[in-house]
């Protein structure tokens, strides 16, 4: 029901006849902006002239958002209805205003009908709407007709400033820079507790004593912000560094402390956590620290990844520096980083310390490389291995000392057949393991020889010595050769280590397959058997016809054999004359005898021959000792004659000019038809001394002795090698 004053109703009745003649009148509320806390007068505009329209009354229904603005009053001073007085207002429903007003003189012109005063209570946007259209908003009884333009009021938040950081933890002597955002410079800084800190005009706070304070800033417009949290200041600070150490080492990590002078600290405790996969707490060291000489220090490291330190004394601590050094074992297996975190720290049971955590990282051990990585050897041989990539000196270890041993310098000595690996460890504990080192028990070799084409030759198949406790009681294998230059005829065991054995053979194409066994075994060195070959006219002078051991099995594979193949070379016969002195002398030959059987070779001088021997063969006609092995053109011999005699060797040039020497003493021949200079021959060879086999001349560079300058064909010499090596004759 409309609420209108009685005289106004009378006027509305008188003017009802003129409703159809009114023009549309636009009422408008504009879009306005204000700020929280402000009062704002919102105008209601009449945009079309009402002059002559006899407007004596109005009723409006306006809605708004009461979350952002509150209705306060209607203001009419200076408005179109000032002469009518204030309207009646119903504002009992939040967000809704119902207004009605009337006067005795009609409204004229355009302008502000009245102002609605609102109080801005929170930030946001409130629409201002003529609610219900013409049914709820009209002049008189609806004439003239109205149109409506709704408005809005945007309420902005009050301008603010923010101090940052909102909280902080400092120790005495530290500073903290504070900043402010928002507001208008310049700013004025302040603190709530000047007994514990001071702050500069630029916001730099300096901690001066233990306690708490807050920081404030005020901008040029008087807007102020105060930190919500406290700025806590502690009397001292404990700090861990960022440090590192090599894997596998013991590391001391310092716990640093700020100045304790004047604080009366006589006790304290702290707890530290760390990565137990990287570090293991082992103890502490107070030498040179603030706790040096303190009587009561305890450590609890029973819980993995945690260490607790407590200390107490009677003399207050003073000064700054290292409080204590914590000792840790660095993992030799794991790598990475460990945080060093304080979980608690206090002095005198009540004074909390500020803590700064640190970190530890491993310095990873380097990869150690062993050179050569893999190798093949025969029992009795040595090989020098080297290590690189780490910090010298290195220690060495063999994976199986029964098979091979290694000394402190990496020199490996092969003992018996098998596979071993070497491990080298550097001075910091870094280690590396090489690849497989294959060790054979012995060499099985085809002893190369020259032969006059068209003749028959017994080619020796020899074996070097075996490790102690091993022997051969059967042998089988296959040997291939160059055809048609060579034709295999038979297996000959007479005068060899298999003498008396039974052999079976099968010759097919250019291969001879054989197997032999006997009741006596042997351990060498010596000739196991001969392969008798017929050389054909197809073998030309200088032609090398290969003879290869394709496979060979000693016993059932133990001992193991490393194969050395050889050849038969078509050669012209030659002679070499040797002068044999009465008594002992050393002899050799640069020819490979056509008949290497020692008994046959020395038949012309047998009546005066007392003894002939080297490391593998002994021949003594007076004692009835017969040689097992044939003449070895790669070895020297000792000989003793009852009278001087000239001896002629008939054969061919020894095509193998390389001598394989072992560590220690070796009796060597001269594989040359002309004298050989000592210094030139032995350049680069790891030897100590070379001397006449029987005589006093020697070449000993370390002692500056050089009475032996040349090696003479036909003689033999003793040479001492530091390690295994080769000599190559020209």
Q: What's the pLDDT at 628?
A: 79
Backbone φ and ψ of 629, nearest 5°? -105, 155
Closest CA to 350 of 288, 269, 293, 253: 269
Quickly tell me which residue has 């640093």 as its tokens: 256
Task: Report the distance separating Cα 64 and Cα 75, nearest Å.
Answer: 17
Q: pLDDT above 70 covers what percent of the chain?
A: 97
Tell me the average pLDDT of the chain: 92
Average pLDDT over residues 266-280: 97
Q: Model confidence over 365-412: pLDDT tens digits?
A: 889 999 999 999 999 999 999 999 999 999 999 999 999 999 999 999
Asked whether the predicted pLDDT for residue 10 surpasses 80, the reply is: no
Q: Model confidence over 310-336: pLDDT tens digits?
A: 999 999 999 999 999 999 999 988 999
Under 8 Å between Cβ of 524 and 473: no
Quickly tell me which residue has 């290195």 as its tokens: 394
Quickly tell me which residue has 């005589």 as its tokens: 695
Name the more confident of 471 and 248.
471
Backbone φ and ψ of 561, nearest 5°? -125, 135
Average pLDDT over residues 538-548: 94
Q: What's the pLDDT at 543?
A: 93
Asked whether the predicted pLDDT for residue 662 surpasses 60, the reply is: yes
DSSP 12: H
In this structure, the chain runs to a length of: 730
Asked whether the predicted pLDDT for residue 146 surpasses 60, the reply is: yes
Q: Tell me whether strands 526-535 and 456-463 are parallel, antiparallel or unpaired.
A: antiparallel
Average pLDDT over residues 97-101: 96
6 confidence band (pLDDT: 50, 70, 90): very low
Q: What's the pLDDT at 21?
A: 45
Average pLDDT over residues 612-631: 92
Asked whether the predicted pLDDT for residue 606 surpasses 60, the reply is: yes
Quickly tell me which residue has 């017994």 as its tokens: 458
Average pLDDT over residues 647-673: 87
Q: What's the pLDDT at 655?
A: 66
Task: Calculate the CA 486 to chain-centre distance.
Answer: 60
Under 8 Å between Cβ of 253 and 244: no
726 confidence band (pLDDT: 50, 70, 90): confident
DSSP 368: P
Task: Report the distance separating Cα 382 and Cα 413, nearest Å.
Answer: 4
Task: Report the distance separating Cα 49 and Cα 28, nearest Å.
Answer: 13
Q: What's the pLDDT at 592?
A: 82
Average pLDDT over residues 699-703: 95
Q: pLDDT above 90 covers what percent of the chain?
A: 81
Q: Model confidence over 427-464: pLDDT tens digits?
A: 888 899 999 999 999 999 998 888 889 888 889 899 99
Task: Report the distance separating Cα 179 and Cα 176, nearest Å.
Answer: 10
Q: What's the pLDDT at 23?
A: 66
Asked whether the predicted pLDDT for residue 18 surpasses 70, the reply is: no
Specify the pTM.
0.52
Q: What's the pLDDT at 525?
A: 85
Q: Model confidence over 481-505: pLDDT tens digits?
A: 999 999 999 999 887 899 999 999 9
Under 8 Å between Cβ of 338 and 278: yes
Task: Report the distance separating Cα 187 and Cα 395, nearest Å.
Answer: 71
Write the secondary structure of 475-520 as one string of H (helix), E (strand) and C (coil).
Answer: EEEEEEECCCCEEEEEEECCCCCCCCCEEEEEEECCEEEEEEEEEE
Asked whether the predicted pLDDT for residue 163 surpasses 80, the reply is: yes
Q: What's the pLDDT at 415?
A: 96
Name the more confident of 1 and 618.
618
Asked whether the predicted pLDDT for residue 1 surpasses 80, the reply is: no
Q: Model confidence over 231-260: pLDDT tens digits?
A: 999 999 999 999 999 998 999 999 999 999
Closest CA to 151 of 38, 58, 37, 69: 69
Q: Could you please report the per-residue DSSP string of 631-693?
A: --TTS-EEEEESS-EEEEEEEEE----EEEE-SEEEEE---SSS-EEHHHHTTT--EEEEEES
């Amino acid at each position: 029901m409309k609420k209108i004053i009685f005289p106004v109703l009378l006027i509305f009745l008188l003017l009802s006849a003129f409703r159809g003649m009114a023009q549309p009148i636009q009422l408008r509320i504009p879009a306005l902006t204000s700020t929280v806390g402000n009062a704002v007068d919102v105008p209601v505009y009449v945009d079309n002239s009402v002059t002559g329209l006899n407007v004596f009354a109005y009723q409006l229904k306006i809605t708004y958002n009461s979350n952002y603005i509150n209705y306060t009053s209607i203001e009419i001073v200076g408005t179109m209805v000032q002469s009518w007085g204030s309207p009646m207002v119903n504002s009992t429903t939040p967000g809704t205003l119902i207004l009605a007003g009337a006067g005795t003189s009609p409204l004229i012109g355009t302008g502000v009908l009245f102002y609605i005063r609102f109080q801005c209570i929170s930030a946001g946007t409130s629409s201002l709407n003529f609610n219900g259209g013409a049914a709820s908003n009209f002049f008189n009884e609806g004439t003239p007709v109205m149109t409506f333009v709704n408005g809005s009021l945007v309420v902005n938040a009050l301008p603010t400033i923010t101090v940052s950081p909102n909280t902080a933890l400092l120790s005495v002597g530290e500073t903290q820079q504070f900043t402010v955002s928002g507001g208008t410079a310049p700013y004025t800084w302040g603190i709530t507790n000047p007994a514990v800190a001071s702050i500069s005009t630029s916001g730099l706070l300096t901690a001066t004593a233990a306690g708490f304070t807050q920081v404030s800033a005020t901008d040029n417009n008087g807007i102020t912000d105060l930190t919500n949290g406290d700025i806590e200041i502690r009397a001292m600070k404990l700090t861990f560094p960022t440090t590192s150490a090599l894997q596998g080492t013991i590391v001391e990590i310092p716990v640093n402390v700020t100045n304790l002078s004047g604080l009366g600290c006589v006790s304290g405790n702290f707890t530290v956590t760390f990565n137990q996969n990287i570090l293991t707490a082992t103890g502490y060291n107070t030498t040179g620290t603030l706790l040096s000489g303190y009587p009561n220090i305890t450590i609890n490291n029973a819980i993995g990844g945690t260490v607790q330190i407590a200390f107490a004394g009677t003399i207050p601590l003073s000064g700054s520096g290292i409080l204590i050094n914590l000792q840790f074992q660095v993992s030799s297996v794991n790598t990475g980083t460990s945080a060093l975190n304080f979980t608690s720290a206090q002095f005198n049971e009540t004074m909390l310390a500020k803590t700064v955590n640190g970190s530890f990282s491993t310095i990873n051990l380097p990869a150690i490389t062993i050179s050569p990585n893999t190798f093949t050897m025969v029992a009795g041989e040595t090989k020098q291995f080297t290590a690189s990539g780490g910090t010298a000196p290195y220690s060495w270890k063999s994976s199986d000392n029964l098979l091979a041993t290694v000394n402190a310098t990496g020199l490996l000595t092969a003992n018996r057949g098998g596979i071993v690996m070497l491990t080298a460890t550097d001075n910091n504990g870094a280690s590396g393991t090489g690849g497989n080192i294959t060790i054979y028990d012995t060499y099985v070799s085809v002893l190369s020889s020259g032969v006059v084409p068209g003749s028959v030759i017994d080619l020796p198949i020899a074996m070097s010595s075996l490790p102690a406790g091993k022997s051969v009681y059967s042998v089988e294998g296959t040997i291939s050769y160059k055809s048609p230059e060579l034709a295999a005829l038979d297996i000959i065991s007479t005068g060899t280590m298999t003498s008396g054995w039974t052999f079976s053979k099968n010759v097919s194409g250019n291969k001879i397959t054989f197997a032999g066994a006997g009741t006596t075994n042997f351990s060498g060195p010596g000739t196991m058997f001969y392969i008798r070959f017929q050389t054909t006219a197809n073998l030309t002078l200088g032609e090398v016809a290969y003879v290869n051991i394709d496979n060979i099995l000693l016993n059932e594979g133990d001992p193991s054999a490393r194969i050395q193949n050889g050849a038969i070379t078509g050669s012209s016969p030659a002679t070499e004359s040797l002068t044999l002195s009465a008594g002992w002398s050393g002899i050799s030959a640069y020819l490979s005898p056509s008949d290497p059987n020692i008994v046959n070779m020395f038949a012309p001088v047998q009546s005066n021959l007392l003894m002939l021997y080297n490391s593998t063969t002994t021949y003594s006609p007076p004692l009835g000792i017969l040689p097992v092995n044939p003449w070895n053109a790669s070895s020297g011999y000792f000989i003793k004659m009852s009278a001087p005699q000239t001896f002629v060797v008939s054969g061919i040039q020894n095509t193998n000019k390389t001598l394989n020497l072992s560590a220690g003493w070796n009796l060597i021949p001269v594989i040359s038809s002309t004298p050989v200079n000592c210094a030139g021959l032995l350049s680069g060879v790891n030897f100590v001394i070379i001397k006449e086999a029987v005589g006093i001349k020697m070449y000993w560079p370390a002692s500056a002795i050089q009475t032996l300058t040349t090696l003479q064909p036909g003689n033999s010499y003793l040479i001492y090698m530091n390690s295994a090596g080769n000599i190559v004759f020209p």
